Amino acid sequence: MSSTLIRKFTDFEFIINDGIYLSGSSFGVKEEIYNNMWQISFDEKMLKTIIYKDLKTFFDALSTKRSEQVAQISSASVATLYLWFDVQSSQLCFNLLSGKNIELPFDCTVNVVASSDIILNKCINEAQNSAITWDQVEIIEPGDPSWDDDEDDDPKKYILDVYVTILPGK
């Protein structure tokens, strides 16, 4: 798993050109998740200048490069590229796993969206509007009536929008 802070547009090139690992087997899913997952954050200055078109250009270049990489790996004929925006961490995330029609490794309910545009727009809108100030944070202490409220929450109740595309191999 790789995390990066984007400070300038050229920072995207490193992510695009990073190598991938595909095992071609369901037994290698954990390794694929670890090696192929990216969490992308944006510094404050970059958030003020980045627009949807910039993210779309990045994601299109990334998809093209990953397709080329999948085609070069003989153990995997196709791979699943999936993209989501993590609201809690304010990060744009993506991963690549061997095969198609795979179960995505999320504990929540996954809502597969028809276009990457939905995720990229969500990233721009949420990240640019997510500046949290300390006066907006509620501190809950042990003994407070709402202290244990999260314990009984079912993770399946949370719905995560995810864009999924199959990248052709050989």
pLDDT tens string 129-159:
765 444 555 667 777 776 665 555 676 788 9
Query: What is the spatial distance between Cα 22 and Cα 69, in angstroms, rounded to a whole number?
Result: 10
Helix (H, G, I), strand (E, B) or coil at 95: strand
Q: What is the pLDDT of residue 157?
A: 83
The answer to whether the CB of 160 falls within 8 A of the CB of 79 is: no
List the structure tokens of 2.
């790789």
Residue labelled with tokens 């809690």: 88
Strands laid side by side in the 38-42 sheet: 2-6, 38-42, 91-98, 78-86, 159-168, 109-113
* Domains of the chain by residue range: 2-130+150-168
* pLDDT tens-digit map of 46-64: 988 999 999 999 999 999 9
Residues of the chain with pLDDT under 70: 74-76, 130-139, 146-153, 155, 169-170
| Confidence (pTM) | 0.83
Q: At what angle do helices 116-128 and 52-72 cross, to 10 degrees?
A: 130
- Which of 152, 167, 169, 170 is CA-nearest to residue 63? 167
pLDDT for 24: 78
Pick from 16, 31, 114, 116: which is nearest to 68 by CA? 16
pLDDT for the residue numbered 134 = 44
- In order of 50, 142, 155, the CA distances from 5 in angstroms are 13, 34, 28
Confirm if 79 and 66 have CB atoms less than 8 A apart.
Answer: yes
Chain mean position to CA 48: 21
Write down the pLDDT at residue 133: 46
* pLDDT at residue 152, as a whole number: 52
